[in-house]
């Protein structure tokens, strides 16, 4: 469901317009707001087709950026594979104090065909996962959930600069480090949903200092265990992350059933 709004500093909703169908030409615009779910729609031979619904945790999710692109993966050595059309979006949730409480970045296919994805998003090449669950799956029918401490908007790339500029133009306060819940699901038919959900400990009253090297973060995979309060936070987040991944999985194959609700992770400090 899409809510079309007039955007103001604290994101008080004004003009609301309903719209639930998105073809490739209906790319969301910066400032659009979604609640409950985002529906991925493709144009087929017999009209529009629901590819999947992506559940969104409770609250208003503001579109910061959205774009379509072609996949760049390659198949066997020396042979190119016809690319898949992908949609990528960055969403943000803001509280009444104009603080970024959660952010989301996802990649999803719009069309599909026989295709093998590379790399394996469920691997941990840098040994930084706090938590990982592959649900007994493996390539090329893969699903996983990972949690790790990360930096947030600390690089000067065109994409990150655009997000920073949006936040700064609206006076939105944001942290430079986060705890990221990563969910991935993909198959050899060209279907994929890869989603990063950024949580900011400061929104829960917990420390979240600026560090450029995540191994120095108090939330790094070995460091957080020194603080019982952080252990409690992470243990609860692990359970929430599995619940969210399970919910995404229910709609991955294009179920048209109403999307079940899920709250953002709650933690009492």
Per DSSP, the three-state class of 240 is: helix
Domain span at residue 210?
62-251
9 confidence band (pLDDT: 50, 70, 90): very low
Mean pLDDT for 170-174 is 97
37 belongs to a structural domain: no
Q: Does residue 262 lie in a domain region?
A: no
Give 46's contacts (C-beta < 8 A, 6+ positions apart): none
Positive or negative, the CA dihedral 175, 177, 179, 184 is positive
Q: Residue 69: inside a domain, yes or no?
A: yes
Give which of 10, 4, 15, 9 is closest to 63, Cα–Cα. Answer: 4
Average pLDDT over residues 200-205: 96
Alpha-carbon separation of residue 19 from 1, 2, 109 (angstroms):
6, 5, 20
Residue 142 domain-assigned (yes or no):
yes
For residue range 45-66, list pLDDT tens digits in order.
778 889 999 999 999 999 999 9
CA atoms within 13 A on the CB side of 248: 27
Quick check: helix, strand or coil at residue 64?
strand
- Residue 115 gets which letter from DSSP? B
Q: How far apart are CA 220 and CA 224, in angstroms?
A: 6
Number of domains in the chain: 1
**Is residue 28, in this structure, part of any structural domain at all?**
no
Range of weakest confidence among 10-19, 100-109, 217-226: 10-19
42 occurs within a structural domain: no
Alpha-carbon radius of gyration of the chain: 19
Residues in the chain: 269
What's the CA gap between 184 and 123, in Å, rounded?
A: 11
Instruction: Kindly report the pTM of this predicted structure.
Output: 0.87
Residue at 263 is within a domain: no
**CA gap 201, 133 in Å, rounded:** 22
Q: What is the pLDDT of residues 108-132, one digit of tens each?
A: 999 888 877 766 788 898 999 999 9
In a domain, 93, yes or no: yes
């Amino acid at each position: 469901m899409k809510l079309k709004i007039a955007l103001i500093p604290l994101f008080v909703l004004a003009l609301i317009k309903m719209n639930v169908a998105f073809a490739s030409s209906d790319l969301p615009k910066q400032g659009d707001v979604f609640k409950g779910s985002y529906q991925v729609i493709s144009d087929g031979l017999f009209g529009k087709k629901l590819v999947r619904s992506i559940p969104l945790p409770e609250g208003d999710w503001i579109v910061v950026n959205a774009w379509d692109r072609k996949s760049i993966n390659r198949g066997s050595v020396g042979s190119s594979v016809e690319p898949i059309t992908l949609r990528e979006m960055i969403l943000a949730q803001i509280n009444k104090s104009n603080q970024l409480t959660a952010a989301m970045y996802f990649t999803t296919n719009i069309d599909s065909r026989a295709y093998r994805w590379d790399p394996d998003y469920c691997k941990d090449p840098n040994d930084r996962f706090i938590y990982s669950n592959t649900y007994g799956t493996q390539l090329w029918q893969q699903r996983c959930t990972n949690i790790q401490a990360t930096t947030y908007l600390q690089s000067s790339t065109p994409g990150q600069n655009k997000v920073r500029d949006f936040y700064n133009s609206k006076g939105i306060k944001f942290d430079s480090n986060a705890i990221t819940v990563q969910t991935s699901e993909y198959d050899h038919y060209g279907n994929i949903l890869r989603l990063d959900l950024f949580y900011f400990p400061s929104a829960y009253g917990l420390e979240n200092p600026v560090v450029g090297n995540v191994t120095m973060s108090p939330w790094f995979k070995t460091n957080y265990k020194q603080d019982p309060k952080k252990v409690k936070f992470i243990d609860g987040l692990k359970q929430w992350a599995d619940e969210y991944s399970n919910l995404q999985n229910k709609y991955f194959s294009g179920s048209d059933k109403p999307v079940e609700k899920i709250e953002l992770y709650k933690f009492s400090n």
